[in-house]
Chain A
Amino acid sequence: MIYFDNAATSYPKPKEVGQAMMYFLEKVGATPGRSGHRLSIEAGRILYQARESLAELFNVDDPLRIIFTLNVTEALNLALKGLLRPGDQVITSSMEHNSVMRPLRELEKKGVEVKVVSCSPKGFLEPQDIEKSIRKNTRLIVLNHGSNVIGTLLPIIEVGKIARKYNILFLVDTAQTAGCYSLDIRKDNIDLLAFTGHKALYGPPGTGGLIIGERVDTKKLTPLKEGGTGSHSEWEEQPDFLPDIYESGTPNILGLNGLKEGVRFVLAKGVDKIHQHEKNLIIQLIEGLKEIPEVTLYGGDDRKEQVAVVSFNLKDKWPSEVGMRLDEEYDIMCRVGLHCSPAAHKTIGTFPRGTVRFSMSWFNTLKEVDQVIMAIREIAKSI
C-alpha cells in the first residue's frame, strides 16, 4: 500500500505517538489542571510538555501562549470570530481553504467586510496587492502558508511586514507547513499562528492549536466557548489569563500526549532535514508526471520552494475515476475533488471538476514515487 494523502492526515505516525497515547490511558488517565493528586499533576505536566515542544518548534517564548484546540479549523474560528467585529475589514487570499473562507462568509453576514485578494492561476500572491487593499478599518490579514491543493507557498514574511507597518494583526494557517517547513513566529512576523496536529506534526486527529503572539491583546480576542478550567473555581466568570481563557473543558490530553511525541520526532529529525527529504520526493514526482503527455499539472514552474503536495488531471478523466483506479488497481491512496478549497480551485481553473492530489510525508520514499508514476503512466495509456 502506498499512502499519498498526507495533506489530509499523515500516516503512518512515529511509533512513539501511539506508545505515548497508550501510556496515558494505562498509567495516567486523569484530568490535567483540576484535582491536586499526583495523576492529575502528571497529566498537567504532559500538557505543559506538549506546549514546550511546540514552543521550541515555533520559537515561542512563553509556552502558555499556546492554546490547544481540536484542529486548525477550530483555531482559525477562534481567531477570526474572536477578533472580527461588524464594521471591521479582513483581508485574505483566493487560495484559502474553507477553514478560513467559511467562517469569513459567516462573519460577512454579520457585517464584517471580507476582501479576497486574487492570486495568479499558478497560486502566487503579490504582497503589494494586500497592501493596496488596506483600509482604515482593516483589522486582520489571514493567509495560508502552504496551499493544500498545489503546495505553493504564500509570502508570509513580506505580508507580515506590511501588517506591522499598518498595525494590523496577521493570522497564518500553517496546516500544510507546520513540521515540514521552517516556521518562526517572530522572524516570520506572525501574530496568530494556527496549526493542526494530525498532518506534518505527526500527532493524532483531534489535536491542534492557536499561538497568541505578543502583539495580540487578549481582551480583544473573545473565547469561542466558556466553561470549567480548574482555575478560579470560585468565579462564575471566565478567567482572563492564558491559556485558561481559551481552554474550557477537559482537553484531549490523550491526543496531546501523542502530539507531544510527534513534535519531538520532528525536532529530533530536524525540520530542515524533513523538508529536504520531501523536496526530493516532490521534485522527482513532478518530473515523472511531466513526462506523461496526458497529464496536466497545476501550480508553479519553480518547484524548489513548496510543500510536498501536487495536483493534476489526466486528460478529460474525472479525478474521482482516477482516484478509484489508483486505490483498487494499484493500492495507492490519494485525494480527489475540491479538497475543501473551492476558492483555490477557481483560482487555478479547476473548479468545479477538481483534481487528483498526491501529498507526501517523511515516511514516503523515492521508490514509492516511482511506483506511483508508473501507475499514472499505465492509467494514462488505458484512457
Chain B
Amino acid sequence: MKDNYSVVIFYSTSAAIRAESLAQKANLKIKLIPIPRHLSSDCGICLQFNNEDKQSIKEILKKTKLNMKIFIKYKFFQVGAYCG
C-alpha cells in the first residue's frame, strides 16, 4: 500500500498550498505532509498523492508552472517507505 504514494516537493509553502487548493478543486485525493528528511533538508511541507493520479497532478502543476513562470519548480519522488 505504501508504495502507492508519491510526493511533490515545492520550494515554498505558499506554492504547496496553492497546489493543494488546485488539486482539491479537481477532486483529487491529496494531503500536505512534512517533507521526508531524506528528500530535502528544508523544513517545509510537500503534497502527497496517489500514484494513479500522477497524470492529473502533473497537468495541474504544469498549468501552475505556466502562470508562475520560473518561480516555482517541482520534482517527483517515489517515497513509498515514508508516506502513506
Contact = CB atoms under 8 A, between A and B. Distances in A.
B45 A36 contact: yes
Interface stretch (B27-35, B54-62, B76-84): B27-35
Please indicate which of the listed interface residues A33, A36, A52, A242 has the most CB atoms of chain B within 10 Å of its own CB. Answer: A36
A241 B17 contact: no
B12 A36 contact: no
Given A36-B44, A230-B12, A45 B35 contact: no
B43 interface: yes
A231 B67 contact: no
B13 A230 contact: yes
Interface size class on chain A is 20 to 34
B14 A44 contact: yes
Interface string B38-65: 0001111100000000000000000010
Contacts of B2: none
A233 B41 contact: yes
A35 B42 CA distance: 10
A47 B14 CA distance: 8
Interface residues of B, number: 25
Interface stretch (A60-68, A115-123, A144-152, A317-325): A60-68
Nearest to A41: B32
A333 to B, nearest CB: 38
B33 A242 contact: no
B68 A44 contact: no
A234 interface: yes
A33 B12 contact: yes
A244 B14 contact: yes
Interface of A: 32-37, 41, 44-45, 47-48, 51-52, 61-64, 218, 229-234, 239-244
Given A35-B43, A241-B12, 8 more contacts: A34-B43, A37-B34, A45-B17, A45-B20, A62-B68, A64-B72, A229-B12, A234-B42
28 contacts: A32-B13, A33-B13, A33-B44, A36-B34, A36-B35, A36-B44, A37-B34, A41-B32, A44-B16, A44-B45, A48-B21, A51-B14, A52-B21, A61-B67, A64-B14, A64-B72, A230-B12, A231-B12, A231-B44, A234-B41, A234-B42, A241-B15, A241-B68, A241-B72, A242-B71, A243-B12, A244-B12, A244-B14
Closest 6 CB pairs of A and B: A36-B34, A241-B71, A33-B13, A231-B12, A62-B67, A48-B17
